[in-house]
Chain A
Amino acid sequence: QQQVKQSPQSLIVQKGGISIINCAYENTAFDYFPWYQQFPGKGPALLIAIRPDVSEKKEGRFTISFNKSAKQFSLHIMDSQPGDSATYFCAANLNTGTASKLTFGTGTRLQVTL
């Protein structure tokens, strides 16, 4: 019940296209859903995040869509660029009162081709 399932495992998109990465969860107690971008050999960088009382959040070319009833959320990267080529992780936060921690999805390797 603590898992976050992420798909696809890898994704190839042409420059200018839309990249879509999906995540699903079971635990309705998750209260915060961030997306991270990670380049090889680097730490993850927070991209964008959403709380479950919001259905969509947009920051620049990045949009999170959140479907609470379906327990799914997705990241859309508009006008994808070669510089977006990286691994993307969704995550979900669980706050138990005494602890608050993230569970990560398995990651999606995005390659944006010219």
Chain B
Amino acid sequence: GAVVSQHPSWVICKSGTSVKIECRSLDFQATTMFWYRQFPKQSLMLMATSNEGSKATYEQGVEKDKFLINHASLTLSTLTVTSAHPEDSSFYICSARWYGRSYEQYFGPGTRLTVT
């Protein structure tokens, strides 16, 4: 149990375009989903927290108009990188908190974004 999927696993886009990344909890309902960013050989940096049906809460320094998060259901959250630039190239990872298990976070496999 506790499987989280992400799609796509990797994506290459041109500068100025937008990219949408999906995060799904496959076998449980997620009250809260999180989006992280990870640069090579570095730790995970929390970008935002989203609760189903509510607006996402962004961490300090994260542009909410650039990184649009939608948590439409208890099993799906999406991250849209708008007007992507090369500096947005990174590894984006989502996680989901299992409803009823208030502490445990389960991570997806990540999405490698390269902006050319």
Contacts and interface: CB of A to CB of B under 8 A. Distances in A.
Interface of A: 31-32, 34, 36, 41-46, 49, 51, 89, 93, 95, 99-107, 109
A102 B43 contact: no
Contacts, number: 55
Interface in B85-109: 93, 95, 97, 102-109
B67 interface: no
Nearest to A6: B43
Contacts of B93: 43-44
- Give the interface SS of chain A, mostly helix, strand, loop or mixed: strand
A44 B103 contact: no
Interface of B: 4, 6, 32, 34, 41-44, 46, 49, 57, 93, 95, 97, 102-110, 112
A43 B43 contact: no
